[in-house]
Structure 1
Amino acid sequence: MPSSQPARGAHPGKLALRDQLTTARNRLAVVELGLFARALAGHLLATEEVRRAATVAAYVSIGTEPGTSWLFDGLVAAGKRVVLPVLLADGDLDWAAYDGGAGLAPARHGLLEPTSRRLGVDAIGTADAVVVPGLAVSPSGVRMGRGGGSYDRALGRVPVGTFTCVALYDDEVDRAVPVEPHDRAVTAAVTPSGLRRF
């Protein structure tokens, strides 16, 4: 989730790593982004957790984030309900059902958000599988986002044992992510090369 500025007191190691990874992402070619998005969708749709899921919480990718449009198409074709985040003024995330690309509208920070009825901040806790954005993940599954804390708060509402997966590029896995008390771990990472479980 993009943030207009780094969080106050942000860890210097995280700031440097975010800058490095964002620069690398900005060098990706458009054709690569499309190929990577298709590969990510294939890996996720093949997981047992996603195949069994009735509801999947995900995110609308923007810019050079790992793409989600192929994933949405596959989930909808498989009869899954997809819920997507709506960024609130305090940085928390509300959720709303995905009703197709026409049901997405521009929002703050260059985001696209669903226009359907809001379900409340706790709706993420009803998802059977959760796919979140990030910039890196440690060997133990600690995810590093963009610094706004939105997804750490949201992941705190997900029941233990739920499949939670961060979508990344291959060189963003197994990074030395500085860990802070509010950081939430995920159970898996998906990259164009495959799925890694923690």
Structure 2
Amino acid sequence: MTADLGNEKRALRADLRQRRRSRTSTERDADSSSLTATLQRFVEERQITSVAVYLSAPDEPDVRPFLNWAFEQGIRVLLPVTREDGLLDWAVGDGASEREGLFGMPEVVGEVLSPLAINDVDAILTPAAAVGHDGVRMGWGRGYYDKTLGSMARRPPVYAVVFDAEYLEEVPREPHDEPVDGIITPSRIITFRS
């Protein structure tokens, strides 16, 4: 990574973190309700029976109401478990039992499956800091999803979950940054490639 690109990414991430932290509780509640409806529509339209998701942190788009709905519908949900080596294991969870994982992020408590377990889901929903119009996903800098997605020979459709304002004209891209197939925001589903 060039120093300029690294600085550009750090500055954009800092700006996005600040925007997320400055959201009001009213904005968060409205987006949570809208995002839940959009995620439900995504799953129903595609007849998804298994999905890889994540446990959202307080400033992230709130996927927890969707997780509760998915469990009630009998959808198999895999949730990530971070590893020291930079890869993700996966666990089937109910979304209710969690612990603090590496870097202070919430993680599911449950039977841990291998990194290969994600190969069998119908779709992968990833967190992101922002996504460009060309499908380039910028994460938060740890590289877990880039490594996971980059290691898959055949992967199910991957959609990043972001706030509407985080769908940008473009984001800085490095060679290891993995593109996504689409985004899901509180107001819409956009597919870049199928």
- Same fold (TM > 0.5): yes
Q: Indicate whether 1:136 and 2:130 are aligned.
A: yes
Q: What is aligned with 1:164?
A: 158
Q: What is aligned with 2:29?
A: 34
Q: Provide the rounded CA distance (Å) in 1 between the counterparts of 2:43 and 2:59.
A: 27
Distance 1:161 1:99, change over 3 A: closer
Where do 5+ consecutive residues of structure 1 fail to align? 1-6
Q: What is aligned with 2:111?
A: 117
Q: What is aligned with 2:170?
A: 176
Q: Provide the rounded CA distance (Å) in 2 between the counterparts of 1:143 and 1:28.
A: 22
Q: What is aligned with 2:19?
A: 24
CA shift for structure 1 position 49 = 6.9
Tell me the amino acid that sits aligned with residue 33 of structure 2. R
CA shift for structure 1 position 8 = 10
Q: Provide the rounded CA distance (Å) in 1 between the counterparts of 2:51 and 2:190.
A: 19
Q: Provide the rounded CA distance (Å) in 1 between the counterparts of 2:95 and 2:176.
A: 33
Distance 1:11 1:34, change over 3 A: same
Q: How many residues align?
A: 191
Higher relative contact order (CA 8 A, sep 6+): 1
**Which runs of 4 or more aligned residues in structure 1 lie more than 3 Å from their structure 2 counterparts after TM superposition?**
7-10, 48-51, 157-161
Secondary structure, aligned partner of 1:52: coil
Percentage of matched positions with identical amino acids: 34
CA shift for structure 1 position 110 = 2.0
1:49-91 deviation per Cα after TM superposition (whole angstroms, max 9, x unaligned):
7742221000000121111111101211221010000111122
Q: Indicate whether 1:67 and 2:56 are aligned.
A: no
Distance 1:18 1:37, change over 3 A: same
1:148-193 deviation per Cα after TM superposition (whole angstroms, max 9, x unaligned):
1001112224564622111111111033211111011111111111
1:75-124 deviation per Cα after TM superposition (whole angstroms, max 9, x unaligned):
112210100001111221111001231x2122232222122111111111
Distance 1:186 1:152, change over 3 A: same
Q: Bigger CA drift: 137-146 or 47-56? A: 47-56
Correspondent of 1:187 among 160, 181, 187: 181
Q: What is aligned with 2:145?
A: 151
User: Contact between 1:45 and 1:51, CA under 8 Å: does it hold in 2?
Assistant: no
Secondary structure, aligned partner of 2:179: coil
Q: What is aligned with 2:89?
A: 94
Task: State the TM-score, normalized to the length of structure 2.
Answer: 0.90
Task: State the TM-score, normalized to the length of structure 1.
Answer: 0.88
